[in-house]
């Protein structure tokens, strides 16, 4: 299977299946001398892992990361960082009834048509467990970005038809992790939790929307034409399991606006740094989402990622097997009702990898 490497100057090559021995990856391009905070990296994995609350799948994985190379005395050495996490709570027998069966809206059929073989246990490589490698790599990227003052915050903006209507600049993004659904608005969070609880009882699922906000990015990140910053962010987000849509800045809503309302007017701000006065260029609005011409303009970067309803339902479904015979799928296994809350750290991780990759390119231009 090709295409398991993401990134240019900073890259991740990931490996592993849902019910294999382990999942892991090799990170290349992390600058030398970065303080590697293993507690932070483990906490990032804990945010993604199953069984973290009553609203997620109850697969019980500790997800303890083990570093094989690239870190010495608590710092990155600039060489490839190899890591892995063992799969512990495997119940492959729960999937025996799915051998040779194509589950609705899963990757079973398309994988079989492409490769002629597939791992039916938990979806194999198409499982959400694959995102563990992304979150680990994203954690390393965040540590490097932190040194440059670049921070990332993702949160759940919508679950089903329940939407968080407040804009991110009116929210306390420090409270995201206080919510079981990772929504930084208490009233909306309670409504979302109630919906998930009701759907779990009925055996059904729903989709959601995750918003990501990136602060502190300098102007100049991104390359014109084919490597635009938003293009790479879009590819990163749409590579996440169950992602169905991406929009940045005003997104689709911008298509309904007049140009006179949509344009982000520039103005100059006098900034006093170390006794020297410099003009800082800002925009009055930010419909551009912090990106213009494919290059960051110094404003906050923000985008939304839409996730489809989880296709694994705890109710009987009709389908066919590999021979085309009609079958009924009887539910077994452990699943999320809505993937959006657990997708939050995955969205952050992919965004962090893109931002660090483009920051390293940006630095190369400045030499």
Q: Write out pLDDT tens, residues 184-241.
A: 999 999 999 999 999 999 999 999 999 999 999 999 999 999 999 999 999 999 999 9
Q: Where are the alpha helices (DSSP H) in 203-322?
A: 229-238, 259-262
pLDDT attached to residue 96: 73
What span, in angstroms and rounded, lies between the C-alpha atoms of 83 and 4? 15
Q: What is the rounded average pLDDT for all residues in the chain?
A: 92
Residue 187 covered by a domain? yes
Q: Which of the two residues, 6 and 330, has the higher pLDDT score?
A: 6
CATH classification at residue 210: 3.60.150.10
Is the pLDDT score of 259 beyond 80? yes
Neighbours of 284 (CB within 10 A): 9
| Structure confidence at residue 117 (pLDDT) | 86
Instruction: Band the pLDDT of 248: cuts 50, 70, 90.
Output: very high
pLDDT at 29 over 70: yes
Reduced to 3 states (helix: H, G, I; strand: E, B; else coil), residue 333 is: coil
- Identify which has the larger pLDDT, 123 or 194: 194
> Is 274 part of any domain?
no
Provide the residue range defining the domain that includes 118: 5-249+288-366
Task: Provide the pairing of β-strand 243-248 with 301-307.
Answer: antiparallel
pLDDT at residue 92 above 70?
no
Q: Is residue 275 situated within a structural domain?
A: no
Q: Which residue in this structure is represented by tokens 């911008």?
A: 254
End-to-end C-alpha distance for the chain, whole angstroms: 37
In this structure, are residues 234 and 294 in contact, taking their beta carbons and an 8 Å threshold?
A: no
Tokens at residue 2, please?
A: 């090709």
Is the pLDDT assigned to residue 277 strictly greater than 70? no
- List, for residues 32-53, the tens digit of each pLDDT value: 999 999 999 999 999 998 766 6
Is position 272 within any domain?
Answer: no
Q: Within 127-255, where are the H helices?
A: 131-147, 186-202, 229-238
- 269 lies in some domain: no
Taking residue 359's Cβ as centre, other Cβ atoms within 10 Å add up to 23
| pLDDT of 98 | 78
Name the least confident of 154-158, 164-168, 352-356, 363-367. Answer: 363-367
Q: Which of 41, 31, 40 is nearest to 147 (CA)?
A: 31
* Predicted structure pTM score: 0.93
Indicate if the pLDDT at residue 75 is higher than 70.
yes
Question: Is residue 281 assigned to a domain?
Answer: no
Q: Which residue has the higher pLDDT, 314 or 273?
A: 314
Residues in the chain, overall count: 367
Distance separating alpha carbons of residues 67 and 84, to the nearest angstrom: 7
What confidence category does residue 91 fall into, taking pLDDT thresholds of 50, 70 and 90?
Answer: low
Tell me the average pLDDT across 103-117. Answer: 90
80 vs 26: CA distance, rounded Å: 6
**Separation between Cα atoms, residue 362 and residue 367, nearest integer Å:** 9
Q: What is the pLDDT of residue 280?
A: 87
CA 293, CA 104: separation in Å to the nearest integer? Answer: 40
pLDDT at residue 273 tops 80 = no
Q: What is the distance, to the nearest Å, from the Cα of residue 251 to the centroid of all Cα atoms in its chain?
A: 19
Question: Does 275 have pLDDT greater than 70?
Answer: no
Give the model's pLDDT for residue 330: 81
In a domain, 45, yes or no: yes
Distances (CA, A) of 211 to 325, 347, 354, 366: 42, 9, 16, 31
Domains in the chain, number:
1
């Amino acid at each position: 299977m090709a295409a398991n490497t993401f990134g240019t100057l900073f890259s991740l090559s990931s490996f592993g299946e849902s019910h294999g021995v382990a999942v892991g990856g090799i990170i290349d391009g992390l600058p030398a001398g970065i303080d590697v905070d293993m507690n932070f990296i483990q906490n990032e994995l804990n945010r993604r892992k199953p069984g973290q609350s009553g609203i997620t799948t109850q697969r019980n994985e500790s997800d303890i990361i083990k570093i094989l190379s690239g870190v010495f005395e608590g710092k990155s050495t600039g060489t490839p960082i190899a890591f892995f996490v063992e799969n512990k709570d495997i119940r492959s027998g729960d999937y025996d009834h799915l051998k040779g069966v194509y589950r609705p809206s899963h990757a079973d059929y398309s994988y079989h048509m492409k490769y002629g073989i597939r791992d039916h246990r938990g979806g194999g490589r198409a499982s959400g467990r694959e995102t563990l490698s992304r979150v680990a790599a994203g954690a390393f990227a965040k540590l490097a970005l932190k040194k440059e003052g670049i921070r990332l915050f993702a949160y759940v903006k919508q679950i089903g038809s329940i939407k968080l209507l407040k804009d991110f600049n009116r929210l306390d993004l420090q409270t995201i992790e206080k919510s079981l659904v990772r929504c930084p608005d208490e009233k909306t969070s309670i409504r979302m939790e109630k919906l998930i609880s009701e759907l779990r009882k009925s055996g059904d699922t729903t989709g959601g929307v995750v918003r990501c906000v990136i602060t502190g990015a300098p102007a100049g990140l991104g390359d014109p034409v084919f490597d635009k910053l938003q293009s790479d962010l879009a590819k990163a987000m749409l590579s996440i399991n169950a992602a169905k849509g991406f929009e940045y800045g005003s997104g689709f809503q911008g298509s309904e606006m007049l140009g006179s309302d949509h344009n982000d007017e520039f103005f100059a701000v006098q900034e006093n740094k170390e006794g020297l006065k410099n003009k800082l260029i800002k925009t009055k609005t930010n419909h551009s989402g912090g990106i213009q011409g494919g290059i960051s303009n110094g404003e906050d970067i923000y985008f939304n990622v839409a996730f489809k309803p989880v296709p694994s339902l705890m109710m009987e479904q009709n389908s066919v097997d590999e021979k085309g015979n009609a079958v009924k799928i009887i539910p077994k296994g452990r699943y999320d009702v809505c993937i959006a809350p657990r997708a939050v750290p995955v969205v952050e991780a992919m965004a962090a990898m893109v931002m660090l990759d483009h920051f390293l390119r940006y630095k190369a231009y400045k030499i």
